[in-house]
Amino acid sequence: MSRRSHAQHAELALLLEVTGTPKPGNVDRQRDHDDLRFEHFVAGAVGSAPGLRLAAGNASLGLAFERGVFGMADQTAGNTQFGALLLLVPLVRAASRGSLDREGVERVVESTTVADACEFYRAFEHVDVAVSDPPGDLAALDVRRGSEAIPALRGRGLTLSDLMAESREVDGVAEEWAAGFPRTFEAAEWILDDERPVPDRAARAFLRLLADRPDTFVEKQRDAATAREATERARAALAGETDPEELAEAFVAEGVNPGTTADLIAAALYVALERGLAV
């Protein structure tokens, strides 16, 4: 049995996620992007540790996330693991309370407050995050406004759980929050059932998740058609019709980056580690 703490497992999950290869379109140990490199993700994982420790303790969930993002951003590339941390923080809290399952995480999500939502907005001041434009009637709540949007947020009395529910149709991380983390727990079982080295398991699970559903980060960065095409190409790779390594090179060259899928893999690795995955 591992003697690592819940926070250490979460940090290790972030590190293991970036070692998996090939993860088509994402930074891994063999592929960098022009503005994001392997070492930036390693530094981001290490920097997030104080926030992850807060998530395992008694600090508010929003503060744990904001502090995790603040530390993650302490490298030269900016945003590396914002979405992954948003998934990990409630999972770490649930694990620290002895209930790392869908019901336990749902209780954590339901317990979030308006103050947690305010800290979530403050986190956007540390890094640039790709988000969709809000509807006109919600312009005052645009997360890119950071702290400036907090008065409007408080005026509407929205909790962090409420915010995730509002975004579930357009954001895969928010959908996990709103639905009880179903894809995270399913991918964790894939990883546990695999027998290959952990980075290889992570890469395989990444391909399965991408083949299952279009990536919402690709939709935001490009468009829905590109996201659907990426999923079709992942299915072909999963079926052995395309070499995953070739697909990875093609996605990087084309600027197709399934970042939400990578976030889910980090979360799934965390659950797997907590459930006995040996490293």
Q: Are 257 and 217 in contact (CB under 8 A)?
A: yes
What's phi and psi for 88, nearest 5 deg?
-70, -40
pLDDT of residue 216: 96
What are the pLDDT digits (tens) for 169-181?
A: 999 999 999 999 9
**Sequence spans of domains, the chain:** 6-274
Query: Could you give the CA distance from residue 205 to residue 244 in angstroms, rounded to a whole number?
Result: 12
pLDDT tens-digit profile of 5-57? 999 999 999 999 999 999 999 999 999 998 899 999 999 999 999 999 999 99
Distance CA 99, CA 73 (A): 30
Cα 154 from Cα 169, distance rounded (Å)? 23
Q: Pick 6-274's CATH classification: 1.20.140.10, 1.10.645.10, 3.40.309.10, 1.10.4200.10.
A: 1.10.4200.10
Q: Give per-residue pLDDT as tens, 185-203.
A: 999 999 999 999 999 999 9
* Per-position b or e across 24-41, b if 16+ CB within 10 A of its CB: bbbbbeebeeeebbbebb
Rounded-to-integer distance, Cα 126 and Cα 6, Å: 25
CB atoms closer than 10 angstroms to residue 10: 34
Q: What is the DSSP string of 213-272?
A: S--HHHHHHS-HHHHHHHHHHHHHHHTTSS-HHHHHHHHHHHT---HHHHHHHHHHHHHH
Residues 6+ positions from 241 with CB-CB distance below 8 Å: none
